[in-house]
Chain A
């Protein structure tokens, strides 16, 4: 199926649910490094509706974080990144927007990000009151007393006890879980449309993870924010995602709503990932090691990128990259098996 066909298929779903808030088409991110051009993200399509949580699952190096950084256009200068495709948020293509607008209008305001390590995400020499209020002040949302009140409100909504008293405290005075909640608060303070969370719970222990997921659900219910949740943990993905996209070697290999993905995974990679889980919902620390390793992103193979490690490998798989097919509504997969040859 071509991009056009998928668009049509999706259009019919949209007719039911409304157009997606975030619509990423054919996103490519190529980094120019010393060793060559790395095709970190190589033609990614994904979309998120309001109030929906999309999980992006994959092993490290698959391009999950790169996708997010590309959406936010936060790739460091040294990488010589070139981003192609389209990233449409509420009708505006972010790749056509100036850097100034990105910084003033989108980052920290319409799109917010939470990253992995709560222990280092907060500036140690500034109070949390100052830090949580910073996006508010710099985006012109609130100043002075109004900003202070909003900060207290936000901290309260992320369940920081006695927020008023703790405004002048420093990050090291909070536990890891609380810090992650503070960071979450900072992210939602300006009521963003899209929240991107890059492995928000991998640095925290299990009980905190459960709390964080509950918090995300609550925020989503209250504000209708769309969430992209990046994780390598299928259990976490299962707990709050509506839909899941599986990423491998810079491309999305399978997308489905969460139940379908876990019950009827179509792509061999997804199946392999799921095989490491005894039952649905039981948490695993790490993905089990599938034989072999991902291909080079500088010079990726012409055919299916998972072929080398796939138990169902056929000659065709090495020759050409499988097109995306829609198996059932909302369930798409890029695999020759599904294309039925």
Chain B
């Protein structure tokens, strides 16, 4: 599929998402009940209704919503009379930072585990890594977060458990968030390494007397990394999704936590803006995967 077609699909997905988000928030019942006191006179209610355009047919309301959304206008937060999107965008860097750190952590775990498992295939290390990965994949990320807090913050008091003050605040949340994909990523690296280690060019390298260490970590790894790197976008997207809960646990001031709080406060503009933005990023990250194939593999780059 060409890039253009994929972009089009992405666009359709985003539009579809906006429809879903719009519909769901309209399901919540009459928003007027939230804005006006219960005993407001009927004509005030009617005026407000017209003013907000809530008397229009649903489709028209949606189009209006969409139109506004495209210009970045999601309305003002019900709680603080500020543009909802602005509030979300303020928090975005924190979430992106967390997602990237989590991704870095997962790769830092997966690559050594995967490479060593492949090099020492069938050994106790290989089996241990497999078990470790299986167990890791069965642990929900919020529980991992709680355990990390319990251990490192409460018992040992080494790392902070809340907020985003210093770089050390990033450590525990990043580990909690990045924990889950390690298993899958390790499998990918291991499988790719096994293939590459069996290749002619690695055998040729050995015949040329290159040290095994160099063969594995330089010449083999760069090839084996390709399948993983190309799908990093997928994992970044997954990190964005998982960030919601992790941010709540660690009181990390990101988009996720803001949306969750807004949900409880029934602050719909913020919820809409947050979910919409996350979806856009989600789709873009997945699109990036398709683009990255051509960037990373020199064979495809040159045609």
Query: CB atoms of A and B under 8 A apart anywhere in the complex?
Result: yes
Give min CB distance, A190 to chain B, whole Å.
9
Interface size of A by Cβ–Cβ distance < 8 Å? 31
* Complex alpha-carbon distance, A170 and B299, angstroms: 8
How many residues of B are in contact with the other chain, CB < 8 A? 22
- Number of A-B residue pairs at CB separation under 8 A: 77
Could you mark each residue 196-212 of chain B with 1 if its beta carbon is under 8 Å from any beta carbon of chain A, else 0?
00011111111111110
Please tell me which one of the listed residues B207, B209, B223, B226 contacts residue A123 in the complex, with CB atoms under 8 A apart: B223
Interface of B is mostly: helix
One of A104, A121, A122, A126 near B209 (C-beta < 8 A): A104
Q: Mark A44-62, 1 if CB is under 8 A from B, else 0.
A: 0000000000000000000
Q: Which of A7-15, A24-32, A110-118, A148-156 forms contacts with chain B?
A: A110-118
A16 contacts partner chain B, Cβ-Cβ < 8 Å: no
| A115-B204 contact given A104-B209, A108-B210, A126-B222, CB 8 Å threshold | yes
B211:A138 contact, CB within 8 angstroms: yes
A183 at interface (Cβ–Cβ under 8 A)?
yes
Taking a contact as CB atoms under 8 Å apart, the answer to whether B223 and A106 are in contact is no
> Is B162 located at the chain interface by the 8 A CB criterion?
no
* A92 lies within 8 A of chain B by Cβ: no
- Taken together as a complex, chains A and B put the C-alpha atoms of A109 and B204 apart, in Å, by 13
CA distance A173 to B210 in the complex (A): 24
Cβ A74 vs Cβ B208 within 8 A: no
B210 touches A120 (CB 8 A): no
B208 touches A107 (CB 8 A): yes
- Asked if B226 contacts A125 (CB within 8 A), the reply is yes
Of all chain B residues, which has the CB nearest A123?
Answer: B201
B297, CB-defined interface residue at 8 Å: yes
From B204, B207, B298, contact of A170 by CB (8 A): B298
Residues of A within 8 A of B (CB): 72, 74, 102-109, 112-113, 115, 117, 120-126, 134-135, 138-139, 170, 172-173, 183, 186-187
Given contacts A183-B204, A187-B208, 9 further A-B contacts (CB under 8 A): A74-B203, A105-B209, A113-B204, A113-B207, A120-B199, A123-B223, A124-B299, A125-B222, A125-B226
In the A-B complex, the 7 residue pairs with the closest CB atoms = A108-B209, A108-B208, A107-B209, A120-B200, A113-B207, A123-B201, A135-B208
5 contacts between A and B (CB under 8 A): A102-B209, A108-B208, A108-B210, A125-B298, A170-B298
